[in-house]
Amino acid sequence: MSDTPFQPLDFAQNLVVRGLIRVGLLLPYRWRVPLLGAILRGPIGWIAGYRRRAELNLKRIWPEMPLSQRRSIASQSLDNAGRTLIENYSTADFLARQSHIVPHGPGVEALAKAKAEGRAVILVSGHFGNYEAARACLVARGYIIGGLYRPMSNSYFNAHYVQTMQAFGGPIFPQGRAGTTGFVKHLKAGGLLVLLFDQRAGRDHIEFLGEPARTALSAAELALRYKADLIPFYATRQADGVSFTVDLEAPIPHSTPLQMTTELTRSLEARVKANPGQWFWIHRRWR
């Protein structure tokens, strides 16, 4: 029996989300993805407070932007989050669709070269589009890509969400001491690892979209320690709402953890400015 105390609110929230996912998975793929987007953009986004948080973040970053435009971006962001959720639970369908994507960018050649030489690579992205589309695309091309993830605060939801990530191929490791041994061993063996770096963490502040944001330097520190290429990558959702383009940028030159992470931040910043509705504005990125 678990020693974790029963959390009634988390339990109820998990029941609602699991119910929505189960209903969605009964529908054809092209229906379920926009449906979950609409649900999170609509009632769930309002009830859970996600819309308010997204709009407050947008007002903080772009106060001069017309209110109608900020609200439109918030709607797009919530829609993308809902689509991402059900896509990541549609393992077989999602993997099949992404296997046909041809990745682009100078990082594609760098990744292939590192694999041929048996060198470690850390692929870094943010909560933009759906990064799992890029991971699935590369897995279909023979890459074994591990993932480092932050466990969700809702333990009931986290338990089954971890299983969905494992289904994409490659080992996954939780952030913190529990996962350290595994991912270090993976990197030492010349493995590939995915990291998302755009949540509030660490002690260093790096300006992101004009506002200082606490940013962990972990990806750069690991790259320096294990002589790994640090490659920014993005899966950008297309106009049809269900397909993606995958871009791998040139590796970040090794320098200092702060400088490398600043360059990663500028890379993500450019993507967000180009497609603001694809970033997860619901995160508590600034405080």
Contact by Cβ (8 Å): 267, 249: yes
Within 13 Å of residue 109, how many CA atoms lie on the same side as its CB?
A: 3
**If you search the block for the tokens 């694999």, which residue do you land on?**
115
Instruction: Summarize the chain as % helix, strand, coil (round to 5).
Output: 55, 15, 30
Q: How far apart are CA 55 and CA 145, in angstroms?
A: 34
Count of C-beta atoms within a 10 Å radius of residue 110:
17
Indicate if the alpha-carbon torsion angle 6, 285, 125, 222 is positive or negative. Answer: negative
What tens-digit pLDDT sequence spans the chain (287 residues)?
455 677 777 777 777 778 888 888 999 999 999 999 999 999 999 998 999 999 999 999 999 999 999 999 999 999 999 999 999 999 899 999 999 999 999 999 999 999 999 999 999 999 999 999 999 999 999 998 887 766 666 676 566 666 666 666 677 777 766 677 787 888 888 889 999 999 999 999 999 999 999 999 999 999 999 999 999 999 999 999 999 999 999 999 999 999 999 999 999 999 999 999 999 999 999 98
pTM confidence score: 0.90
Count of C-beta atoms within a 10 Å radius of residue 23:
14
**If you search the block for the tokens 């105390």, which residue do you land on?**
5
Beta bridge partners of 31: none
Q: How far apart are CA 265 and CA 252, in angstroms?
A: 11
- Helix, strand, or coil here: 177? helix
Count of C-beta atoms within a 10 Å radius of residue 67:
10
DSSP 39-105: HHHTHHHHHTTHHHHHHHHHHHH-TTS-HHHHHHHHHHHHHHHHHHHHHHH-HHHHHHHHTT---BS
